[in-house]
Amino acid sequence: MEYRQAWDFQVKLADAVRSGQEPNTLLLLEHPPVYTRGRLSKPEHILLSADELEARGIAVHEADRGGQVTFHGPGQLVGYPVIDVRAWGGPLKYVRTLEQIIVATLADFGIIAGVIDGITGVWAGEAKIAAIGVKISRGVAYHGFAINVNTDLSYFDYIVPCGIEDLSVTSMAQILSQRVEMDTVQYSLTYQFGKAMGFRMVESERALLG
């Protein structure tokens, strides 16, 4: 799904969740190649010119989430929880819980991962394997996280990921030396998400809100 299409959908869904018309929802998808700039990003953190970006087929979007510049693309599992956090525990608890959900998901595949104090996201050794950036508007969170599953990591060569110079980035496929089935990762993530958030997860194939 195109990044802007997914973003617009989240905003509509957030309104519906806020009003009680829709339940808390976890969207799982992949994007075509795109660089997104969070609220703290700097223009120089994308190292390619506009012409070079166009030649490589990479879109750029300014996002209202936290964090800085990151990449989304095929082979990366993007999760957008649209969640009413007003009675759940607040922004910091929510972000820390997302990190632990990803750590637990990676553990299901034998990958040891963790967090680094002061830097949002999840790391495998000294390399970042998942990024997190959320927006909370009137008590409802959207945007979310991205796990590098079978991602082409060369796209990270042209940005300063998360504003960190010389940041190493890795993927599940790189660590395991084999391609990883995305459906299996989605299944594990959904289970760990429900367990950590205290939600009963119900799969739903749904059309975009009109």
Tell me if 208 is assigned to some domain: no
- Rounded CA-CA distance 43/191 in Å is 38
Tell me if 206 is assigned to some domain: no
pLDDT per residue as tens, the chain (210 positions) = 999 999 999 999 999 999 999 999 999 999 999 998 877 778 788 888 999 999 999 999 888 776 788 899 999 999 999 999 987 888 889 999 999 999 999 999 999 999 998 888 999 999 999 999 999 999 999 999 999 999 999 999 998 876 667 778 999 999 999 999 999 999 999 999 999 999 999 988 765 554
Tell me if 165 is assigned to some domain: yes
Tell me if 204 is assigned to some domain: no
Q: What CATH number does the domain containing 174 carry?
A: 3.30.930.10
Tell me if 191 is assigned to some domain: yes
Burial code (b: 16+ CB inside 10 Å, e: under 16) for 100-129 equals ebbbbbbeeeebebebeeeebbbbbeebbb
Containing 78, the helix (H) or strand (E) segment is strand 76-84
Tell me if 205 is assigned to some domain: no
Bridge partner list, 131: 146
Tell me if 202 is assigned to some domain: no
Tell me if 83 is assigned to some domain: yes
Residue 167: active-site member: no
Active-site option among 98, 113, 162, 180 = 162
Q: Quote the pLDDT of residue 67.
A: 72
- Rounded CA-CA distance 71/186 in Å is 19
Domain that holds residue 62: 3-197
**How many independent structural domains does the chain possess?**
1
